[in-house]
Amino acid sequence: GAGVSQSPSNKVTEKGKDVELRCDPISGHTALYWYRQSLGQGLEFLIYFQGNSAPDKSGLPSDRFSAERTGGSVSTLTIQRTQQEDSAVYLCASSLAYGLGTGYNSPLHFGNGTRLTVT
């Protein structure tokens, strides 16, 4: 498919367990974003990758959250020792962000998200 793919689409886990969420961006998109969407809370920015590096990790809510991107493509968001407040939809997006004057107006292409439920 040509779109952003996220897996799994749904994940139910017990409190205290670790989870990994995967994102396959659109081929050729250098920028990749992770957002969290909680009920009635809008979109919360988590982390952004340009290539394999993450210039901005300021949105990660705690040190239990980490993310990596390899080969300028697939990204994994890991949540360790999950808590009930981590329950949300985790959205991944990619865009053609490259160079000054061209990347700022590139729209984001979103996946359908991973719905995480921590019991």
- The footprint of other proteins (CB under 8 A) covers 4, 31, 33, 35, 40-43, 45, 48, 50, 55-56, 91, 93, 95, 97, 100-101, 103-105, 107-113
* Distance (Å, whole) CA 64 – CA 62: 5
Q: Which is nearer to other proteins, 45 or 83 (CB)?
A: 45
Query: Closest distance between other proteins and the C-beta of residue 16, in Å?
Result: 28
List of E strands, the chain: 5-7, 10-13, 19-24, 31-37, 43-50, 53-56, 65-69, 75-79, 88-95, 109-110, 114-118
Q: Which is nearer to other proteins, 5 or 80 (CB)?
A: 5
